[in-house]
Structure 1
Amino acid sequence: MAEEKKESTRFTTPVFRMSFPNLYVARKSGDDPDAKPKFGLSAIWTPANFTPREKDLWLKIMKELDAISRKDFGSPWKELPDNVRRGVRDGSAKSGLEGYGKGTRFANLTTQSRPGVITLAKEDIGPEHGNAELIYPGCYCRATVNVYSFGLKKGSKGKGVALGLFNVQKIKDGDRLDNRTAAKDDFDEELDSAWLDQEDSDFDNSDDTDGDDFE
């Protein structure tokens, strides 16, 4: 009888600020031609702002990271060597990017299967629902994840522990991290009424100006 595969423990994360969302189209990362396309996001936490319940959620994830680090790499999570990726990193490592920096922690959450994405009211979010714009860099979300190790086979190009992504729930809006604005906010300037009142022929074949007056 084949040995039953043990399911990994699923955790709910504390609320994080989303960066680099890639939840609807799987993409390859890096230059490895053998890498499989993945969905994912970067989650940015500020532990100092955690509620008591979020502290408990965070502690459970960190304990699992430590347990897997000890089991698969023979070392506590905090003492993993530099050539072993830790999954959760200090935000100071990306202090040049908006949203990261001192006092933050971040992790890249990835999956080969498209994650479910819902609102606080548990309504689906996605391009097929006409509301994919609800997800953007800077919004606040939480996710369900698991902890796993990788690169244990000989010849692997990298090894470490990581957080796998299952599903995402948007909690609230936040300032965008990519400095983009919504189209509806870009066009408050009043439109010249001539463009609405004139016929197309009124703007054709004009020879009384060639633009020289607008240097």
Structure 2
Amino acid sequence: MSTKFKTDKVRLSYAINMYEAKANDKGEMKFGVTLLIAKTDTVTIERMKAAAEAVKRIKQPGKDDAFYKAWPRTIHDGDGTKPSTGEPYGPECKGCWVVAVSANEKPGILSLIPEFNPTTDKAHSGDFAKVSLTAFWFDTGTNKGVTFGLNNVLLLERGERIDGRTSAADDFADEIGDAF
């Protein structure tokens, strides 16, 4: 079993964190993104569970089968509440599994979006992508389990922005006409 895998099409949230590192709860600078995985995407979820099982079998040998098959605690139900605050997830998370992934280094980002220029454009929260991930074991002393590290991103298509922002061209369309 491999611990590295690729997702099918997922929606990105907090996409800016793929470009700009942010301090985590320990003060470590991390690049990351939150993946919104449609609950109908059983292929991606099965890949995640298989990679998590592989990590557990390596890091925690000799456990019973139920331990290895258990759902990773870092995958959350977007129809439920956030484990950190108890507040409900936003409407963009409904019908999705939610998983935050991170990396010490900036991920490689490629794009299949025709109008996307990787030197000047950035992915937005709400865009769709395929993502390369690696499952790994974490142990903070009081909290341990399997989580997923961010490797690379292939942008597939623009989606409705989650953050509510609009483009300058949209905001000024009546002033600029067809100039853009």
Structure 1 unmatched ranges of 5 or more: 1-7, 80-84, 192-215
Question: Which structure is richer in relative contact order (CA contacts within 8 A, separation 6 or more)?
Answer: 2
SS in 1 for 2:92: coil
**2:91 aligned with 1:98, yes or no?**
yes
Equivalenced residues, count: 163
Q: Look up the match of 2:152.
A: 167
Per-residue CA deviation, residues 177-199 of structure 1 (Å, 9 max, x unaligned), is: 011111111123449xxxxxxxx
Which of 126, 131, 135 aligns to 2:121? It is: 131
User: How high is the TM-score relative to the length of structure 1?
Assistant: 0.66
Which of the pair is proportionally richer in strand? 2
SS in 1 for 2:52: helix
Does structure 1 conserve the Cα–Cα contact (< 8 Å) formed by 2:3 and 2:54? Answer: no
Distance 1:147 1:184, change over 3 A: same
Q: Look up the match of 1:180.
A: 165
Percent of pairs with identical residues: 26
Deviation of 1:28 (Å): 0.6
Does structure 1 conserve the Cα–Cα contact (< 8 Å) formed by 2:4 and 2:51? Answer: no
Q: Larger Rg: 1 or 2?
A: 1
Per-residue CA deviation, residues 45-93 of structure 1 (Å, 9 max, x unaligned), is: 1132x3xxxx4443232122134335545423537xxxxx722221123
Q: Which amino acid aligns with 2:49?
A: M
Aligned equivalents of 1:121, 1:175: Cα separation in 2: 14
Q: For residues 107-146 of structure 1, what are the structure 2 equivalents within 5 Å?
A: 107-120=99-112, 126=118, 129-132=119-122, 135-146=123-134
SS in 2 for 1:99: helix
Q: Which amino acid aligns with 2:135?
A: V
Distance 1:183 1:162, change over 3 A: same
Distance 1:122 1:184, change over 3 A: closer
Q: For residues 5-24 of structure 1, what are the structure 2 equivalents within 5 Å?
A: 9-21=3-15, 22-24=17-19
Aligned equivalents of 1:12, 1:107: Cα separation in 2: 14
**2:29 aligned with 1:40, yes or no?**
no
SS in 2 for 1:76: helix
Aligned equivalents of 1:60, 1:10: Cα separation in 2: 9
Q: Look up the match of 1:61.
A: 48
Distance 1:149 1:125, change over 3 A: farther
Aligned equivalents of 1:89, 1:163: Cα separation in 2: 13
Q: Look up the match of 1:89.
A: 76
Q: Which amino acid aligns with 1:13?
A: T
Does structure 1 conserve the Cα–Cα contact (< 8 Å) formed by 2:22 and 2:30? Answer: yes
User: How high is the TM-score relative to the length of structure 2?
Assistant: 0.77
